[in-house]
Amino acid sequence: MKAIVFLCVVASFAVPRHEALGQTRGLQKARKLGEQKAPPPPAPVQTYASSELDRAIEELPPNFNGHDIVFVYSALEERKRQSDKSEFETTDQWHQRQAALLLEPIVGRMTIGSVWTFVIGHVRSVYDADSQVLQIYVPFHSMLTSVGLASSFRSLSAKTESRTSSYLGTNAFGVIAEVENTSYTIHEVVFGNAQSFPTVEVKDSDSSTAGVRVSVPSGPDAAKQMKPEVSALAVCRLTAPFTMSSSDYSDRATVSIPFTSQFQWNYVMTQLLEVWIFDRKSGVIHAKLRPRD
């Protein structure tokens, strides 16, 4: 008899019991080769910064990607594992090793104490044709309640990666359907000094949050070219505990909705020094937003 493993139920709305699907590992082999989905094309190779940014510069290199937050997060996680005190070392030896770890480079010559730059993915822009001004908004997201940070902490989304797979599922009545599962890994810059920045209300779909805003005077033709390339850069220092994470799941798959999702949030803890608004293609810096004095 082939084993049947049922999906974990984390539902936010009621689903008829006769629709709930479970994964059938044995039936996975029954799918014909012609029915298999073609693998997605490889992502373009991106190059990231490996040195500290000069905060006095007026223009960034074209197509600037900042530092690789995925690599930095992984390196910080490994650094945490190395920080555990061994039962075979004295407290003095452990303190000496911690001091040495702080000086070890993470990327190039950059260490825990360096100034890091992460490109922010979630930026909104709205053009006002009457005043000929492009309004650029960078929302400060609220943290998930399960993270356990103070309510004053906010985050900036830096990178989202997704991976999709599928399997054949069955419910209690033997109905079989192909279920598509998408796993999302979201890396975010987290900071506790959002109140130090002058913020405005930023509307996003049917919700709103606080964020920073920049007004860039521009004619309509220039604004059309500028709008798709507008990006933001988080200029920051790393702070303890350096990393945190949280996970969540979507509603269970059903016969009528054969989709499910998994979410993993990886947070890099920082003190936000500045937010730069820049043109990703040309590297032109439109504004540098700093905390209030």
What six digits make up the tokens of 163? 């991976």
pTM for the complete prediction?
A: 0.78
pLDDT at 67 over 90: yes
Residue 115: pLDDT band (50, 70, 90) is: very high
CA distance 2 to 79: 43
- For residue 142, being part of any structural domain is answered with yes
**Which residues, 6+ apart, have CB-to-CB distance to 245 below 8 Å?**
264, 265, 266, 267
pLDDT at 22 (0 to 100)? 61
Instruction: Give residue 8's pLDDT band: very low, low, confident or very high (50, 70, 90).
Output: very low
Residue 49 counted as domain residue: no
Q: Is residue 38 part of a domain?
A: no
pLDDT at residue 289 in the model: 95
Residue 221 lies in a domain: yes
In a domain, 29, yes or no: no
Specify the pairing of strand 133-139 against strand 124-128. Answer: antiparallel
- pLDDT tens figures, 133-150: 999 999 998 877 666 677
d(CA 127, CA 220): 8
Number of structural domains in the chain: 1
pLDDT in tens, 13-61: 333 434 555 655 434 433 444 455 566 666 556 799 999 999 999 999 9
pLDDT score of 248: 77
Would 111 be classed as within a structural domain?
A: yes
Summarize pLDDT for 71-102 with one digit per residue, the tens: 999 999 998 887 788 888 888 988 888 888 87
Q: How far is CA 22 from CA 19, 61, 171, 203, 223, in A?
A: 10, 50, 6, 39, 50
Range of the domain at 232: 60-82+103-163+182-252+261-289
